[in-house]
Amino acid sequence: VRTHIDFDDSFPDERRPFEKRRRGKTRFDDAGPRRRGRLTEEAKTALTRELDDATTDLPDGDRWSTWVAAEHGPAPRPDWVVTAAAATDTELGVLKSGKEADVHLIRRAVPGTDGCVVAAKRYRGADHRMFHRDSGYLEGRRMRRSREMRAMANRTAYGRNLIAEQWSAAEFAALSRLWDVGVPVPYPVQRDGTELLMEFIGDEVAAPRLAQVRVSPAEWRELWWQLRSVLFLLAGEGLTHGDLSAYNILVHNGQLVLIDLPQLVDLVANPNGVGFLARDVRNVAGFFAARGVDVDTEELIEELADEAR
Ligand SMILES: Nc1ncnc2c1ncn2[C@@H]1O[C@H](COP(=O)(O)OP(=O)(O)OP(=O)(O)O)[C@@H](O)[C@H]1O
Ligand SMILES: [Mg+2]
C-alpha cells in the first residue's frame, strides 16, 4: 500500500510536543499519548482511502474521488459538481496528449448514479518552461525554501514535479479568478498536486476548438464580436490571456469558452503586459480577418490597453 501522509504544518513550532520532548521534559509531557505530529483531517481521509483501496475492489484505472483533499473552486459551486466522499473517478479516455500536459476525461460518480463528467488536465514533470521570478508568472508567490528553488533549477525529478505543480496551481487560480468575474471559462472544480479538474466543455463529444469550426460569414462576425467583448472584460480586470489563439478557444452551442490559462498575464504588473496583449489580439484578429471579418486590430489593441489603465 502506497501511503502518503500530510502532517499539519499549522501546528505552531513551540507547541510541537514531539520536537520539544527531544530536548527534555516539557509541559506537554503529561498531555496524553505520545504521537508524531498530528494528522490533518484531509490526511486521515486520504489514509483511510489508501487502506480502502487495498481492500476494496475498484475496477482497473478507477480511484476514489480526490475531492476531499483537493483545493476547491470558487463558491457558489455549480450543483452538478459531485462532492460525495463515496464517489469514484473513472477514466473515460484521453482528450489530448501534449508536451506539457495531458487532458483526460473522467466520470466522477457515486456507483449507480450518473455523477458528472470533468476534464482532468495533468501537468507533466518534464520539458517545462520554468516559473521564474521576473517572468511575472510567479508574481506574489514565493518559494518557501531555497531547496525547492534549487531542485527546480537543477531539474531533478522532484524539481520538475514542483514546476508542474506551480503551473497547475497558476491555471487553477486563473480559472477561479476569471470564473468569478464572468469570463467564459470552464468551471474549475478542484486542484490536487499537478492535476486540475474542470468543467468538461462538450456534450457527447468535446467542443471543437475555434480553429476547427466551419460557419457562415455572419456567424464569423458574431463570434468575433463575442471575442471582442471577452477581451474587454479581461482588459477591464487588467488581464490578457497570454497565449490566445484559435486553438485555446472552444466553441460550444455558439458560445466561446477560453481555455489553457496558466500564463494569464497581469497587464499592470507585467513589464511587457501590453506586448502580450498586442500578441493575443493579433493572433485572433488575424484568424478572423482570414475568414472575411472586418477587424480593426491596432485600434482594438489601443482601446484594450486604455481599458486596462
Ligand atoms: N474543459 C475542457 N473541455 C473540453 N475539452 C477540453 C477542455 N480542456 C481542454 N480540452 C481539450 O484539450 C486540449 C488541450 O487543452 P489545453 O490547451 O488546456 O492544454 P495544453 O497542453 O496547453 O495544450 P496545447 O499545448 O495544445 O495548447 C484543448 O485544445 C481541448 O481540445
Ligand atoms: Mg492549448
Higher pLDDT, 68 or 147: 68
> For a pLDDT cut of 70, what percent of the chain falls above it?
79
Residues of the chain above pLDDT 90, percent: 66
Which atom number of ligand 1 is nearest to the Cα of residue 259? Answer: 18
Any atom of ligand 1 within 6 Å of the Cβ of 115: no
Assess contact for 200 and 271: CB atoms under 8 A.
no
Q: Establish whether residue 200 lines the binding site of ligand 1, counting it when its CB lies within 6 angstroms of any ligand atom.
A: yes
Report which listed range, 20-29, 119-128, 275-284, is most confident. Answer: 275-284
Q: What is the mean pLDDT of residues 48-64?
A: 75
Cell of 285: 484578429
Q: Are 165 and 123 in contact (CB under 8 A)?
A: yes
Q: Which atom of ligand 1 is nearest to the CA of 100?
A: 21
Q: Is the pLDDT of residue 308 over 60?
A: yes
Residues in CB range of 304: below 8 A, 6 or more apart: 231, 232, 235, 240, 277, 281
What is the average pLDDT across 227-238?
A: 98
Give the Å distance between the CA of 224 and the centre of ligand 2: 19
Residue 87: phi and psi, rounded to 5, are: -75, 155
Q: Which residue has the higher pLDDT, 169 or 145?
A: 169
In ligand 1, the atom with minimum distance to the C-alpha of 200 is: 3
233 lines ligand 1 (CB under 6 A): no
Atom 16 of ligand 1: nearest residue by CA position: 260
- Report phi then psi at 198, rounded to 5: -140, 165
pLDDT of 3 higher than 70: no
Residue pair 189/199 in contact by the 8 Å Cβ criterion? yes
CB count in 10 Å sphere of residue 33:
4
Given a contact cutoff of 8 angstroms between Cβ atoms, the answer to whether 87 and 109 are in contact is yes
Q: Which residue has the higher pLDDT, 48 or 83?
A: 83
pLDDT band for position 99 (50/70/90)? confident
| Angle at the Cα of 299 from the Cα atoms of 294 and 305, rounded to 5 degrees | 135
pLDDT band at 288 (very low <50, low <70, confident <90, very high): very high
Kindly indicate the confidence band of residue 12, based on its pLDDT and cuts at 50, 70 and 90: very low
Give 43 or 196, the one with higher predicted confidence: 196
Three-state secondary structure along 34-90? CCCCCECHHHHHHHHHHHHHHHCCCCCCCEECCCCCCEECCCCCCCCCCCCCCCEEE
Distance in angstroms between the alpha carbons of the first and the last residue of the chain: 55
Pocket perturbation via mutation, ligand 1, pick of 205, 260, 280 by most ligand atoms within 8 A of CB: 260
Q: Is the CB of 252 under 6 A from ligand 1?
A: no
Model pLDDT, residue 132:
45
248 lines ligand 1 (CB under 6 A): yes
Is there an atom of ligand 1 within 6 Å of 149 CB?
A: no
- pLDDT on residue 7: 37
Predicted confidence (pLDDT) at residue 29 exceeds the cutoff of 50: no
Cα-to-centroid distance, 19 and ligand 1 (Å): 46
Mean pLDDT across the stretch 171-187?
98
Q: Is 98 in the pocket of ligand 1 (CB under 6 A)?
A: yes
Mean pLDDT of 213-222: 98
The whole-number pLDDT of residue 234 equals 98
pLDDT at 24 over 60: no
> CA of 293: how far to CAs of 216, 238, 285, in Å?
11, 27, 9
Give the closest residue to 98 by CA, choosing from 222, 221, 265, 262: 262
* pLDDT score recorded for residue 74: 98
CA distance 285 to 282: 5
pLDDT, the chain, mean: 84
* 48-75 average pLDDT score: 84
Q: Residue 60: its pLDDT value, please?
A: 81
304 pLDDT higher than 70: yes
Average pLDDT of the residues in 274-301 = 98
- Ligand 1 pocket member 209 (CB < 6 A): yes
